[in-house]
Amino acid sequence: MENNNNVLPKREEIDSTYKWRLEDIYNDNELWEEDYAKIKKLMAQISGYKGKLSDGADVLLDFFRDFEELVSLNEKLFVYARMRRDEDNANPVYQAMTDRAMMLSTQVYAAVSFMVPEITKMDEHTHNGYLEMDKLKIFTQYFKEIRRRANHILSEREEEILALSSEIGNTSSDIFTMFNNADIKFPTIKDEDGENIELTKGRYKKLLESVDRRVRKDAFHGLYSSYYSMKNSVASMLSANVKRNRFYSSLRKYNSSLEASLDEDNITISVYDNLINTISNKLDLMYRYLELRKRALKLDSLHMYDVYVPIVDKPVDNIPYEKAASMVKEGLNPLGNTYAKDLEKAFSNGWIDVCENRGKTSGAYSWGSYLTHPYVLLNYQETVDDVFTLAHEMGHAMHSYYTNAAQPFIYSEYKIFVAEVASTVNESLLVRHMIDNSEDIKFKAYLLNHYLESFRGTVFRQTMFAEFEKIIHGKESDGEALTSELLCSVYKDLNRKYFGQGVVIDDDIEIEWARIPHFYNSFYVYKYATGFSAAASLSEQILNGSSGAVDRYLNFLSSGSSSCPLELLKKAGVDLTDPKPILDALNVFEETLDELENYI
What does the pLDDT read at residue 5? 53
Which residues have CB under 8 Å from 27's CB, separation 6+?
none
Of residues 129, 117, 80, the one with CA closest to residue 101: 80
What does the pLDDT read at residue 107? 95
Paired strand residues for 578:
none
Q: Which amino acid is at 374?
A: P
Rounded-to-integer distance, Cα 210 and Cα 159, Å? 52
pTM beyond 0.85: the answer is no
Q: Which amino acid is at 280?
A: S
Residue ranges of the chain with per-residue pLDDT less than 50: 2-4
Paired strand residues for 190:
196
Which residues have CB under 8 Å from 33's CB, separation 6+?
none
Residues labelled as active-site residues: 393
CATH topology of domain 13-169: Butyryl-CoA Dehydrogenase, subunit A; domain 3 (1.20.140)
Cβ count within 10 A of residue 250: 14
Q: By the 8 A CB rule, do 381 and 363 touch?
A: no
Cβ count within 10 A of residue 480: 11
Rounded-to-integer distance, Cα 156 and Cα 147, Å? 15
Q: By the 8 A CB rule, do 383 and 317 touch?
A: yes
What does the pLDDT read at residue 2? 46
What does the pLDDT read at residue 100? 97
Rounded-to-integer distance, Cα 102 and Cα 97, Å? 8
